[in-house]
Amino acid sequence: MPPETPAIDPATLAELAADTGPSVIPGLVKIFMETAYARISRMASAIAAGNGPAVAAEAHALKSSAATFGASEVRHLCAELELTCKTSLAAEASANLDRLRLAVDAAGKELSAFLREQ
Amino acid sequence: MPPAAGSQNDTEFDNSRHHADTRYSGAPGIAPRWRVLLAEDDPANRAVLRNHLEKSGIAVVTAENGREAVSLIARTNVDLVLLDINMPEMDGLAAARAVRAMDARKAALPLIAVTSDVNDAALAAMRAAGINGCLEKPVRRKALILTIMEALSARPAAE
């Protein structure tokens, strides 16, 4: 069984916090989480509409911000959704979106814990 | 978000500052600060990059897609453009081509891609579109500022 991707890469998050500062990072995390759930909602709508490229576009954007916040599993799942839905809706898109939602939940918990420890 | 009060004393960049012109110091009475257009569709990445720039004393104008970026470049003066590549309405490559087709002054603007997809094909497409450099996400503040300083040190300020 392959090793699990961590919800949050602590090194990337620590670098982001060092670059932005402790007073700024909570606001940035809030924007990231709100945007992530909004993108998941739009991906669900696109899947219901059978629109693969729209899923891929949202997945790409979330992959990009997940990289910034060290959300490794979110990044990995978004890359998969982007790749498989680029030209047409993949059969496994709905199941992958469920996994992505759980990964965003997990990332949110770890980010909250990080902020509490700041 | 206003520039951080301590940005002019940021010791992290003391050595790099030797290569910068006076605009980076933000000293009062000296010519305008560098002004960067940041084109990025994702709100979280936009907020992070904006923070990095303002914390370093750089003025920021933002656009949410390539079309908005091109329109802003045509109407306002900036010193450099940071371009996300994958954006809705008009992507970073199309925006770069549009800038390179503008009048000589605008067409000479340094264009730096900021993207999560860096591979040989993507880099070749960026070069073909006239993009001068590329930063891979996640972008550290120091790397961002050094890239900008390198691109801008020899250029006159936007007015």
Q: Give how far A35 is from chain B: nearest CA, Å.
A: 7
Residues B37, B133, B108, CA angle at the centre, nearest 5°?
A: 60
**Is B159 contained in some domain?**
no
Nearest CA-CA partner of B83 in B107, B124, B49? B49
**Is B148 contained in some domain?**
yes
Q: Is A108 on the interface with B (CB under 8 A)?
A: no
With contacts defined as CB-CB under 8 Å, which chain B residues touch A67?
116, 137-138
The answer for residues whose C-beta is within 8 angstroms of residue A16's C-beta and 6 or more apart is A25, A28, A68, A69, A70, B48, B138
pLDDT tens, position by position, B89-133:
999 999 999 999 999 999 999 999 999 989 999 999 999 999 999
Reply yes or no on domain A10-15+24-117 having CATH 3.30.450.
Answer: no
What is the rounded average pLDDT of the residues A66-94? 95
With contacts defined as CB-CB under 8 Å, which chain B residues touch A35?
42-44
**Is B2 contained in some domain?**
no
Residue span of the structural domain in which B84 resides: 7-152
Give CA B69 to chain center in angstroms.
Answer: 11
For residue A108, pLDDT over 80 is answered with yes
Give the pLDDT confidence score for residue A18 in this predicted structure: 95
Contact A29, A115 (CB under 8 A): yes
Of B41, B137, B140, the CB nearest to A67: B137
Give the pLDDT confidence score for residue B20 in this predicted structure: 43
**DSSP 8-state secondary structure symbol assigned to residue B25:** G
pLDDT band at B14 (very low <50, low <70, confident <90, very high): very low
Give the pLDDT confidence score for residue A118 in this predicted structure: 82
The per-residue pLDDT of chain A, averaged, comes to: 94
Nearest CA-CA partner of A61 in A87, A43, A44, A45? A43
Q: Is B61 on the interface with A (CB under 8 A)?
A: no
pLDDT band at B158 (very low <50, low <70, confident <90, very high): low
The answer for residues whose C-beta is within 8 angstroms of residue B113's C-beta and 6 or more apart is B82, B83, B84, B85, B92, B126, B131, B133, B134, B135
What is the rounded average pLDDT of the residues B133-140? 95
Of A24, A32, A70, the CB nearest to B44: A32
Q: Give how far B62 is from chain A: nearest CA, Å.
A: 16
Give the pLDDT confidence score for residue B30 in this predicted structure: 45
Residue of chain B whose Cα is closest to the Cα of A32: B44
CA distance B40 to A64: 10
**DSSP 8-state secondary structure symbol assigned to residue A51:** -
pLDDT tens, position by position, A60-72:
999 999 999 999 9
Do the Cβ atoms of A28 and B47 come within 8 Å? yes
Give the pLDDT confidence score for residue B137 in this predicted structure: 94
For helices A52-69 and A93-117, what crossing angle results, to 10°? 20
**Is B11 contained in some domain?**
yes
Do the Cβ atoms of A68 and B43 come within 8 Å? no
For residue A106, pLDDT over 70 is answered with yes
Residues 15 to 54 of B: which have CB under 8 A from any A CB? 41-45, 47-48, 51-52
Average the pLDDT over each of A62-76, B17-31, B137-151 and give the range with the smallest value: B17-31
For helices B43-55 and B141-152, what crossing angle results, to 10°? 70
| Cβ neighbours of B148 (radius 10 Å) | 25
Of A24, A32, A64, the CB nearest to B137: A64
The helix (H) or strand (E) run that includes residue B134 is strand B133-136
Total of domains in chain B: 1
Average the pLDDT over each of B4-13, B75-84, B145-154 and give the range with the smallest value: B4-13
Question: How much of chain B is helix, strand and coil, in % rounded to 5?
Answer: 45, 15, 40
pLDDT tens, position by position, A14-62:
999 999 998 999 999 999 999 999 999 999 999 999 999 999 999 999 9
Q: Is B156 on the interface with A (CB under 8 A)?
A: no
3-state secondary structure of B129: helix
Here the CATH number for the domain that contains residue B141 is: 3.40.50.2300
For residue B147, pLDDT over 70 is answered with yes
Sheet holding B80-84, edge to edge: B59-63, B35-39, B80-84, B111-115, B133-136
For residue B3, pLDDT over 80 is answered with no
With contacts defined as CB-CB under 8 Å, which chain A residues touch B86?
57, 60-61, 64
Q: Is A81 on the interface with B (CB under 8 A)?
A: no
For residue B134, pLDDT over 50 is answered with yes
ipTM of the complex: 0.92
